[in-house]
Structure 1
């Protein structure tokens, strides 16, 4: 993992869209609440960032996932390709680096394609009303 070039690491992104949805922590910081509302930069049809190279300056909560920081992001799903590689496991058969098909993740139902709305289409005061999943945070 640490021997990978930046380009090789970046190519691991499977395009699931799960890291680009708006999430909240409860008041006790013990429950992660996920919404079906996507970052304003995410194209909800393709699940690709529309301004990937400038995203960190345009979206303050956006993060740069690296081999050194992957374990800091507990909220990434276990199916995240970065996490899979960090665990030393093989990429799944639907991953584009295995299958050669970037659409297979969507066809197999492992992405959020068709399940997200853009935060540009949801009034800010309604985003919290769109919580769809709670995940307990453990140490």
Structure 2
């Protein structure tokens, strides 16, 4: 006896990030967009003449270079006064957000990369793909003078990781 072909009539569910604008997301959805790469928590310098942003491999004082997460996320703005709280307005105006940042990608009408935890289902794919700062942070900002920061310039935070 021949088996009948099976198929599902269940509708395909569209992921929230493809279905909603940044403005329409719940707080939980918004927070889940962070891929945990830690790139935005690297110290950045701005060229006064050109406005060009230069990345360093030095982390914010609260950045854990192994977990790539903030050591005190809830109190970060009280402890680090220049810590930027990402909002939809901030996403649209911050030129230094890494090109792989989910907030930036979605604001630009692009989709998330395969290694993003929401796509892969695994929070470690961002590290396995070489996107995160894991193992690349020279230390916390308080360990470096301004002159030393100038010696710590790197370009890998602007790598889009398309081939990863």
TM over 0.5: yes
Picking from 15, 23, 34, the partner of 2:36 is 15
> Can you list the C-alpha shifts for 1:14-67, whole angstroms capped at 9, x where unaligned?
111110011111231422121100001010001010000111111122101112
Q: Does 1:87 align with 2:108?
A: yes
The corresponding residue for 2:82 is 61
The alpha-carbon deviation at position 88 of structure 1 amounts to: 2.4
RMSD over aligned Cα atoms: 1.6
Whether the 8 Å CA contact 2:63–2:140 is kept in 1: the answer is no
More strand by share: 1
Q: Does 2:53 align with 1:43?
A: no
The structure with the largest alpha-carbon Rg is 2
Evaluate the alpha carbon distance shift between residue 81 and residue 117 of structure 1 in structure 2; reply closer, same or farther with a 3 A threshold.
Answer: same
Aligned-partner SS, 2:99 = coil
Using CA pairs under 8 Å that are at least 6 residues apart, name the structure with larger relative contact order, 1 or 2.
1
Q: Where does the alignment leave 5 or more consecutive residues of structure 1 unmatched?
A: 134-139
Is the contact made by 1:41 and 1:55 (CA closer than 8 Å) also made in structure 2?
Answer: yes
Aligned to 2:118: 97
Answer whether contact 1:42 1:118 (CA < 8 A) is retained: no
C-alpha distance 45-75 of structure 1, shift in aligned 2 (>3 A): same
